[in-house]
Amino acid sequence: MNAGLFCPSLPVTPVRPYRLRGRSAFTLVELMISITILVILMLVVTQVIGIVQRNWVRSNARVSQFREARVAFDTLTRNISQATLNTYWESASDPFRTDAAGQQVTRARANVRQSELQFVCGPTTRLLTSASGSKENYPGHAVFFQAPLGVTRLVAATGSQANTENMVNLLCGRGYFVEWGDDQPYRPPFLNQLTSVPPRFRLRLMEYSPTSEMNRIYSDGFRLIDPNDRTKIVNSRRWFQEALTATVQSSETVDSRAFTRPIAENILTLVISPRIETTVASSSGNIEPFSIAREYEFDSTLVTSPGSSAGSSPQGTQHQMPPLLLVTMVALDQRGGESLSSNNDLRQKVLAETSTLFTNAADYAADLEGTAEEPGKLKKILLENKLDYRVFTTTIALKQARWSF
Q: What is the pLDDT of residues 144-196, one digit of tens each?
A: 999 999 888 765 545 566 666 677 788 999 999 999 998 887 777 777 777 77
pLDDT range class, residue 401, cuts 50, 70, 90? confident
Q: Is 12 strand, coil or helix?
A: coil
Q: What's residue 374's pLDDT?
A: 85
Q: How large is the average pLDDT for residues 39-45?
A: 92
Q: What's residue 392's pLDDT?
A: 95
Instruction: Phi first, then psi: give them for residue 49, nearest 5 degrees.
Output: -60, -40
Q: Which residues pair with 324 in a beta bridge?
A: 275, 397
Q: What is the pLDDT of residues 58-99, one digit of tens each?
A: 777 666 668 889 999 999 999 999 999 999 888 777 777 787
Q: Is 26 strand, coil or helix?
A: coil
User: By the 8 A CB rule, do 291 and 310 touch?
Assistant: yes
Q: Which residues pair with 397 in a beta bridge?
A: 324
The overall pTM is greater than 0.85: no
Q: What's residue 282's pLDDT?
A: 57
Give me the residue spans of the domains in the chain.
Answer: 68-91+119-397
Q: What's residue 20's pLDDT?
A: 52
pLDDT at 312 over 70: no
Q: How large is the average pLDDT for residues 205-224?
A: 89
| Rounded-to-integer distance, Cα 177 and Cα 121, Å | 10
pLDDT range class, residue 10, cuts 50, 70, 90? low
**What percent of the chain shows pLDDT beyond 90?**
44
**What percent of the chain shows pLDDT beyond 70?**
85
| Rounded-to-integer distance, Cα 364 and Cα 270, Å | 12
Q: What's residue 1's pLDDT?
A: 47
Please give the mean pLDDT across all residues of the chain: 84
Q: What's residue 22's pLDDT?
A: 53
Q: How large is the average pLDDT for residues 373-388?
A: 91
How far is CA 188 from each of CA 13, 181, 194, rounded to the nearest angstrom? 100, 17, 11
Q: Nearest Cα to 272, choosing from 243, 305, 309, 239?
A: 305
Q: How large is the average pLDDT for residues 345-361?
A: 93
| Rounded-to-integer distance, Cα 358 and Cα 349, Å | 17
Q: How large is the average pLDDT for residues 25-33?
A: 83
Q: What's residue 105's pLDDT?
A: 72
Q: Which residues pair with 247 in a beta bridge?
A: 260
Q: How large is the average pLDDT for residues 97-118?
A: 81
